[in-house]
Amino acid sequence: IGNHNSLMLPGDRPLFLINPRGRLFQELTASSLIVCDLDGRVVRGEGELRKVAFHIHARIHLRRPEAACVMHVHPQYLTALSLLEKPELALAHHNNLLLNDRIVVDLAGDEPVGDHDEGDRIADLMGGKSIMVMAGHGVTVVGPTVADAFDELYIAERTCMYQTTALSTGRPLRRLPDRLRRNHLGAWGDRMDARLHLDAWRRVLDRDEPDYAT
């Protein structure tokens, strides 16, 4: 229940959609989401906005208008990476070519997120990056669309899983040459595969858990 994802809504008034406090992702449906303003007021729906979610999401949406979708989660492998002295993904798997230099590591956030100052610090540290590994905590991912943010998160978590599994053998990683990065640069938010990826998972949900759309 400590994971939270938000999406800015179209319109003149700055409002965002977010999951309410205290619900597992498995419990969520479209109608159970709440709509909040950037001051933390729930303007539509039933439920409470988690305070830490407010300080992270509202400040990122305010300071980075292009980041329409914000995902703050604690997946197994990226969270494990965040506990290391140097929480970095090596350029060893081809997936990391897609991530390029879009990852930033926050080594200063030792305190829980409890106010706007910390939310502003997170937003400013992210800068133009899309993935923040938060030391001793988890990960925050942003994107111009749900598809872009989800795809970034998925790729980063899987890449981290591969790296962790490889390192568990006790043998050194075989690193890819840095020059390969230049061949995989692309406009952020302009990846067809991200949309196809989300569409594929929606088909799975439509088949297995159709209630999500109610």
Question: Running along the chain, 214 residues long, what does each successive block of 10 average in pLDDT?
Answer: 95 95 94 96 95 91 95 96 90 75 83 77 91 93 95 93 94 84 53 89 96 95
How many domains does the structure of the chain reveal?
1
Which pLDDT does position 189 carry in this prediction? Answer: 47
CB 110 within 8 A of CB 83: no
CB 74 within 8 A of CB 80: no
For the beta sheet containing 103-106, the strands, ordered from the edge strand earlier in sequence to the opposite edge, are 42-44, 34-37, 15-18, 4-8, 69-73, 138-143, 131-134, 103-106
Which pLDDT does position 100 carry in this prediction? Answer: 66
Instruction: Classify residue 141: in a domain, yes or no.
Output: yes
Indicate the pTM of the whole model. Answer: 0.91
Instruction: Classify residue 59: in a domain, yes or no.
Output: yes
**Which domain covers residue 26, as residue numbers?**
4-201
Instruction: Classify residue 110: in a domain, yes or no.
Output: yes
Which pLDDT does position 11 carry in this prediction? Answer: 92
Instruction: Classify residue 209: in a domain, yes or no.
Output: no
Which pLDDT does position 190 carry in this prediction? Answer: 53
Which pLDDT does position 89 carry in this prediction? Answer: 86
Q: Which two tokens stand for residue 183?
A: 């061949």
- What CATH number should be reported for the domain holding residue 184? 3.40.225.10
The angle subtended at Cα 182 by Cα 142 and Cα 98, nearest 5°, is 35
Alpha-carbon distances, residue 132 vs 44, 71, 115, 129, 139 (angstroms) = 29, 10, 18, 8, 6
Cα–Cα distance, 182 to 180 (Å, whole number):
5
Instruction: Classify residue 43: in a domain, yes or no.
Output: yes
Instruction: Classify residue 206: in a domain, yes or no.
Output: no
Which pLDDT does position 92 carry in this prediction? Answer: 80
Which pLDDT does position 114 carry in this prediction? Answer: 67
Instruction: Classify residue 210: in a domain, yes or no.
Output: no
Instruction: Classify residue 208: in a domain, yes or no.
Output: no
